[in-house]
Every structure is written in structure tokens, then in C-alpha cells.
Amino acid sequence: MHVAIVSDIHGNRHAFEAVLDDARKAGANEVWCLGDLVGYGAEPDACVEIARDKIAICLAGNHDLAVTGELSMDDFSRGAAISAKWTQETMGQKNLAFLRELKPAGVEGDLGLYHASPRDPVWEYVLSELLADRCFDEAAQRVCFVGHSHVALAFTREIDGEHHARGALREPGQTANVREDAWLLNPGSVGQPRDGDPRAAWLLLDRDNGRAEWRRTAYDIAGAAAAIRAAGLPDSLAERLGYGQ
């Protein structure tokens, strides 16, 4: 069974649709989303409707929780708060109800799924080997998938825990054998990558063979940026899409 794992869609319908089409061509049987369907981008309703129709497993991210009112926007950046408030005021009630049903953590078989981390499913950015070590200590599952940081990366540690975690950014086409050792894998962001590559990031997991492959998909960045500007959201949210930052 092949699973496409995505995260941080952020209201970017153009990127989401392109990734789902690419995933289908790559043989994905299911799609799992690690949260943040909304926020930053200008087409939140479309993204939630796609998720309702096509996503087998969907988590809540911090932006989703802010839009539903379960999380304060006080800790958000100015652009994030403006877009969250706009999304809250413009989204359809049926789609808001869908977001309210989501949780920031889940388990699928022997795999842990977290929006942010096993220690803090909502807020923790796992970007260092030190934090990865602490997450491995907390995780109930040997292999976990996380989003939130908008960066495609992976950390691994030997199962006996005698050695510290090792981690690195992951380029498209790179793979990991998750049949052995402990793993913490981040597919990167579909809707707003922050690792210098503007293409939508995702991960293809071969569950039968324990193989994870990082992928990138080109999409209509200009169209996504135009939608942000047309909605009257901060221009910086449109500009950054072209830089992958």
C-alpha cells in the first residue's frame, strides 16, 4: 500500500490539487494530512472540501485550531493572525464544522501522526537533533510523521537509544528505510515551503516495504499568489510563495 503524506496546505488550492494529481500518478492508494488545511492562503473552503472528499486521515494544525476558535491567535505573527481572522470570517459553516472535528495527533497501525511533535502535537517545531532526541524519548511509536515546520527533513535514532538522533534536510528523490531504527519524518509543506524550494513538498510512503520517499511537485504559484492578493491579504504572503521561504 502506498500513502501520500502531506502537511501545511494553508489554503493553497493550486498546490494541493497538483500534489494530489502527482500522488495519484505515483500510485498512492490513500492520502494522509498532518494538519493546517487553512491559514495564509486565500482558498480555505476549496482546500477543506478537497480534504473532505479525498483525504483518508486528516489532523488539525495550529492554524486550523485558531480558525475554529480553539486556539488563541495571540502568538501568531501579524500575517498569520490576519489570514486566520479572514479565514474565520469567510469560511462556510460546513467546512468550519469539519475542522472542529479534527485532532492534532493520531495513530494509524504502528505509525504515529502528529501535526507538530509527539511531545507537543500543536506547537513544537522539531528542527534540531536535540529536540528530536526528546521526541524519540516521548514517542509511543517507533516511526512518527510530523509537519508544522514547513521543512522537508528526517531524524533517526538507533532503537536501543544509546546514540543521539541524527537529522538532515531531505531533497526530492531521497529515501529512508523505516523498517529499522526510530524515525521522525517531515514531508515538508504543500502550500508554503520554507526550505528555499518553492515547489509543493510531500512524501510517498510504501507501507509494505517500509520505504519513504520525499517528493516535490511544481504548481501554479502565480495563480495562488493572485488569489491571495485578490482576497486583500498581506502581499508578503503572496510574494514568499515564489521564494520557498
Q: Give the CATH number, domain containing residue 136.
A: 3.60.21.10
| CA distances in angstroms from 178 to 100, 186, 224, listed in the order given | 32, 13, 34
pLDDT at 110 over 90: yes
Structurally, the chain folds into a number of domains equal to 1
Range of the domain at 103: 2-242
For residues 198-202, average pLDDT: 98
> Is it the case that residue 91 has pLDDT exceeding 80?
yes
Residue 189 phi/psi, 5-degree rounding, is -105, 135
Q: Give me the percent of the chain exceeding a pLDDT of 70.
A: 99
**What strands, in cross-sheet order, belong to the sheet with 30-33?**
57-58, 30-33, 2-6, 200-206, 211-217, 175-177
Structure pTM?
0.96
Confidence of residue 161 (pLDDT cuts 50, 70, 90): low
Give the confidence band of 235 by pLDDT, cuts at 50, 70, 90. very high
pLDDT value of position 162? 66
pLDDT of 198 reads 98
pLDDT greater than 80 at residue 137: yes
The pLDDT confidence band at residue 160, using thresholds 50, 70 and 90, is confident
pLDDT of residue 163: 78
Instruction: Please say whether the beta carbons of 11 and 43 come within 8 A.
Output: yes
| pLDDT at residue 229, rounded to an integer | 98
* Average predicted confidence (pLDDT) for the chain: 96
DSSP state of 100: H
Residue 47's pLDDT is what?
98
